[in-house]
Structure 1
Amino acid sequence: MSKNNILQNVLGFIVCFLLFVGSMLFTNFYPLLILVGILGFAGLSFFVYRIISFYNKKG
Protein backbone atom coordinates (compact mmCIF):
# COMPACT_ATOMS: atom_id res chain seq x y z
CA MET A 1 0.00 0.00 0.00
CA SER A 2 1.49 3.34 -1.01
CA LYS A 3 1.24 6.72 0.67
CA ASN A 4 -1.44 7.76 -1.80
CA ASN A 5 -3.49 4.72 -0.87
CA ILE A 6 -3.16 5.56 2.84
CA LEU A 7 -4.47 9.05 2.10
CA GLN A 8 -7.49 7.54 0.35
CA ASN A 9 -8.12 5.29 3.35
CA VAL A 10 -7.93 8.21 5.77
CA LEU A 11 -10.29 10.27 3.60
CA GLY A 12 -12.67 7.32 3.43
CA PHE A 13 -12.53 7.05 7.21
CA ILE A 14 -13.39 10.74 7.59
CA VAL A 15 -16.29 10.53 5.13
CA CYS A 16 -17.73 7.45 6.85
CA PHE A 17 -17.35 9.11 10.23
CA LEU A 18 -19.22 12.19 9.01
CA LEU A 19 -21.96 9.99 7.55
CA PHE A 20 -22.30 8.15 10.84
CA VAL A 21 -22.38 11.27 13.00
CA GLY A 22 -24.69 13.16 10.66
CA SER A 23 -27.15 10.31 10.47
CA MET A 24 -27.21 9.90 14.24
CA LEU A 25 -27.88 13.62 14.72
CA PHE A 26 -30.76 13.81 12.24
CA THR A 27 -32.42 10.41 12.72
CA ASN A 28 -35.27 12.10 14.60
CA PHE A 29 -36.28 13.94 11.44
CA TYR A 30 -35.62 11.21 8.86
CA PRO A 31 -35.83 7.65 10.24
CA LEU A 32 -34.26 6.17 7.10
CA LEU A 33 -30.99 7.79 8.09
CA ILE A 34 -30.51 4.85 10.46
CA LEU A 35 -29.46 2.84 7.40
CA VAL A 36 -26.95 5.52 6.45
CA GLY A 37 -25.60 5.38 10.00
CA ILE A 38 -25.17 1.62 9.78
CA LEU A 39 -23.33 1.96 6.46
CA GLY A 40 -21.15 4.72 7.90
CA PHE A 41 -20.26 2.59 10.90
CA ALA A 42 -19.45 -0.39 8.67
CA GLY A 43 -17.24 1.86 6.55
CA LEU A 44 -15.47 3.09 9.69
CA SER A 45 -14.61 -0.43 10.73
CA PHE A 46 -13.48 -1.31 7.19
CA PHE A 47 -11.10 1.64 6.89
CA VAL A 48 -9.74 1.22 10.42
CA TYR A 49 -8.95 -2.42 9.58
CA ARG A 50 -7.15 -1.40 6.37
CA ILE A 51 -5.11 1.32 8.07
CA ILE A 52 -4.10 -0.88 11.01
CA SER A 53 -3.18 -3.81 8.76
CA PHE A 54 -1.01 -1.47 6.67
CA TYR A 55 0.97 -0.34 9.70
CA ASN A 56 1.28 -3.89 11.04
CA LYS A 57 2.81 -5.06 7.73
CA LYS A 58 5.12 -2.07 7.62
CA GLY A 59 6.89 -2.62 10.91
Structure 2
Amino acid sequence: MTAQQLQIVRLAAKGLANWQIAERLLLSDRTIGFHLYQAFPKLGVTSRAQLRDALTRLEGA
Protein backbone atom coordinates (compact mmCIF):
# COMPACT_ATOMS: atom_id res chain seq x y z
CA MET A 1 0.00 0.00 0.00
CA THR A 2 1.30 3.42 -0.89
CA ALA A 3 1.83 6.14 1.71
CA GLN A 4 -0.95 8.21 0.16
CA GLN A 5 -3.38 5.28 0.24
CA LEU A 6 -2.55 4.69 3.88
CA GLN A 7 -3.13 8.35 4.72
CA ILE A 8 -6.49 8.31 2.94
CA VAL A 9 -7.53 5.05 4.62
CA ARG A 10 -6.67 6.47 8.04
CA LEU A 11 -8.84 9.52 7.42
CA ALA A 12 -11.70 7.40 6.06
CA ALA A 13 -11.46 5.15 9.13
CA LYS A 14 -11.97 8.25 11.29
CA GLY A 15 -15.30 8.76 9.54
CA LEU A 16 -14.44 11.51 7.08
CA ALA A 17 -16.31 11.56 3.78
CA ASN A 18 -14.44 11.49 0.48
CA TRP A 19 -15.03 15.22 -0.08
CA GLN A 20 -13.66 16.03 3.39
CA ILE A 21 -10.54 13.95 2.79
CA ALA A 22 -10.13 15.57 -0.62
CA GLU A 23 -10.34 19.02 0.92
CA ARG A 24 -7.66 18.21 3.51
CA LEU A 25 -5.27 16.64 1.01
CA LEU A 26 -5.98 19.04 -1.86
CA LEU A 27 -7.14 16.25 -4.15
CA SER A 28 -10.43 15.57 -5.92
CA ASP A 29 -13.05 13.41 -4.26
CA ARG A 30 -12.85 11.07 -7.26
CA THR A 31 -9.15 10.57 -6.58
CA ILE A 32 -9.95 9.70 -2.98
CA GLY A 33 -12.53 7.17 -4.16
CA PHE A 34 -9.99 5.62 -6.52
CA HIS A 35 -7.40 5.26 -3.76
CA LEU A 36 -9.94 3.65 -1.45
CA TYR A 37 -11.03 1.32 -4.27
CA GLN A 38 -7.40 0.24 -4.66
CA ALA A 39 -6.79 -0.08 -0.90
CA PHE A 40 -9.85 -2.14 0.08
CA PRO A 41 -8.64 -5.42 -1.49
CA LYS A 42 -5.15 -4.88 -0.06
CA LEU A 43 -6.68 -4.60 3.41
CA GLY A 44 -9.15 -7.42 2.85
CA VAL A 45 -12.21 -5.24 3.50
CA THR A 46 -15.37 -4.55 1.56
CA SER A 47 -16.74 -1.53 3.42
CA ARG A 48 -15.61 1.60 5.22
CA ALA A 49 -16.96 0.18 8.47
CA GLN A 50 -14.23 -2.47 8.41
CA LEU A 51 -11.36 -0.01 7.91
CA ARG A 52 -10.58 0.66 11.57
CA ASP A 53 -10.15 -3.04 12.38
CA ALA A 54 -8.05 -3.58 9.25
CA LEU A 55 -5.79 -0.67 10.18
CA THR A 56 -5.36 -2.04 13.69
CA ARG A 57 -4.26 -5.38 12.24
CA LEU A 58 -1.96 -3.71 9.70
CA GLU A 59 -0.27 -1.33 12.10
CA GLY A 60 -0.10 -3.85 14.92
CA ALA A 61 1.73 -6.39 12.79
Shorter-chain TM-score above 0.5: no
Which of the pair has more CA radius of gyration? 1
TM range (shorter): 0.3 to 0.5
Normalized per residue, the structure richer in helix is 1
TM-score scaled by length of structure 2? 0.35
TM-score scaled by length of structure 1? 0.35
